Amino acid sequence: MEHMTKLEPPTLGGARRYPAFINGKWVPSSDNKWIDVTNPADGSVVGHVPALARKDVEAAIDAAHAARRKIRDVPAIARIELLERAAHLLEADRSLLVDVVVAESGKPVAVAKGEVKSTLERLRLTAQEARSMHGEYIPGDWVEDTKNKMAVVRRVPRGVVAAITPFNYPLFIAAAKVAPALVAGNTVVVKPSTETPLSMLFFAKAMEEAGLPAGALNIVTGRGREIGDVLAESPRIDMISFTGSTAVGERIASKAGMKHLALELGGKGAALVLEDANLDLAAKEIARGGLRFQGQRCDAVSRVLVHEKVADAFVARLLAEVAKYPMGDTRDEKTAIGPLITPKAVAYAQELVLDARSKGAKVLAGGGFVGQYHEPTVLDRVTPDMRIAWEEQFAPILPVIRVHSVEEMLDLANRSEYGLDSSVFTNDVNKAWGVAKRLEDGAVTINGYPAHGVGHFPFGGNKKSGMGREGIGASIEEMTRVQTIVLNMPPAETPFDW
């Protein structure tokens, strides 16, 4: 990473020691402890961030709570313009943002460029969507007991939003939480992933340069097990927006009390390949859906349910597509597969592969690893007694399960404890519609891999995949609440005796 200009936070006590951002100031931890941020590709240290203590996080919450009326009183048009200025600053240093994402997440540069582009687009679209955040007028004279009344229903900010974000989209997911929260008039405390905290500090610098009031945005860094509960339990937090594992989401829910929750958790996305599917299209889409960013996405295709009549032909095509995803240097535009985020992630992926092999699955491609690079892998003849049929691998592994009928596909798909995304491949629109209606997922994609993209379509999980919905408009709605103001009006004079 090269040093930046307007987007680079100040450093403290050494090269690339980036402080936290609390109440408009760049600060270290109160006990001066730091966490190394390493590049998953080669283990090199690319930066250091504060390991904040409980009292530091409480200071950030206090700052956000104190500033909540300040940001609420800023005219909506001014909040919109602030987002637009921040987007302009980020755009000016787009290539440097790409460098940060690549360095801390191990994301191939081509994929990192897509993340930065999506972040800029999300900021602009959120600013546009905010202009349609209107209330509602309800006349009372349609009902006897309110005939001399009227009501104005308006959307108001929730207050202080805690945004807890994952490693896999360190810039985009955090920005997709911060932007709607701020534009709706909330203040925000962001806890980025310990593995990938740098992107959000650079984002905060852009917001500072754009003129955001002190306390409206606070970035707290540190280990989740040490400071996450502070956010979950604080009575001064009004909403928690979390993206991450189901286990952590359940812990947050158990400690949050009456806070409003928006939780996007784990997934086990099923791709259903019917016997009349376009197999070339299905193979291409499923390979991309399962391998993009090494499969480290909650909306990844993580199991393939294919009709036995076309299974051989489909698998042959899938192998040809998977061969197009080379591992390599994450800074090389041609690289499609980078490293997994931690050695622990590699070990877990290997557990699932070895379990499947021991129970009869066939490894047709990949199956191994080098350092933190896990080979793109195709497992054929996976059966329901194998762990990988049910557990989220978060790795570039495509397990193929051969089935006898659409009913069996639906049974296996819906038996999962997750319910985030799925996809259906068929050339029959009636079958597509019928199958989609019976799938228990928050979103179903027909003839394509699931992808939340910039959030134009709302998305979110059912069952253990979470609660609430996200998206350009959906996120603004989640981060506001409804207030009804009833006006008791004197009866109007009428010229007729009704």
Catalytic residues: 264, 298
Task: Please spell the DSSP secondary structure of 255-317, one letter per residue.
Answer: H-TT-EEEEE----EEEEE-TTS-HHHHHHHHHHHHHGGGG-STTSEEEEEEETTTHHHHHHH
**360 contact partners, CB below 8 Å, separation of at least 6:** 381, 383
Q: Among all chains, which residue has been given the structure tokens 């900010």?
A: 157
Residue 487 DSSP code? E
Closest CA to 105 of 297, 280, 383: 297
User: What distance in Å separates the CA atoms of residue 439 and residue 449, rounded to the nearest whole number?
Assistant: 15
CB 439 within 8 A of CB 410: yes
The one-letter code for the residue type at 439 is L
Q: Among all chains, which residue has been given the structure tokens 């240290």?
A: 45
How many C-beta neighbours within 10 Å does residue 46 have? Answer: 17
Q: Are strands 45-50 and 34-38 parallel, antiparallel or unpaired?
A: antiparallel
Closest CA to 420 of 439, 401, 403: 439
User: What distance in Å separates the CA atoms of residue 296 and residue 318, rounded to the nearest whole number?
Assistant: 19
Handedness of CA 114, 339, 441, 279 (dihedral sign): positive
CB 10 within 8 A of CB 19: yes
**469 contact partners, CB below 8 Å, separation of at least 6:** 262, 442, 458, 459, 460, 477, 478
CB 201 within 8 A of CB 9: yes
Token pair, residue 425, equals: 């491949």
* Angle (nearest 5°) at CA 393 between 295 and 267: 80
User: What distance in Å separates the CA atoms of residue 1 and residue 103, rounded to the nearest whole number?
Assistant: 7
* Angle (nearest 5°) at CA 50 between 46 and 53: 155
Closest CA to 93 of 199, 188, 215, 184: 199
**398 contact partners, CB below 8 Å, separation of at least 6:** 286, 287, 290, 291, 301, 304, 318, 322, 376, 377, 378, 379
Within 54-159, strands assigned E span 136-139, 149-157
**How far are the Cα atoms of 52, 483, 489, 496, 497 from residue 149, in angstroms, in the given order?**
52, 16, 5, 20, 20
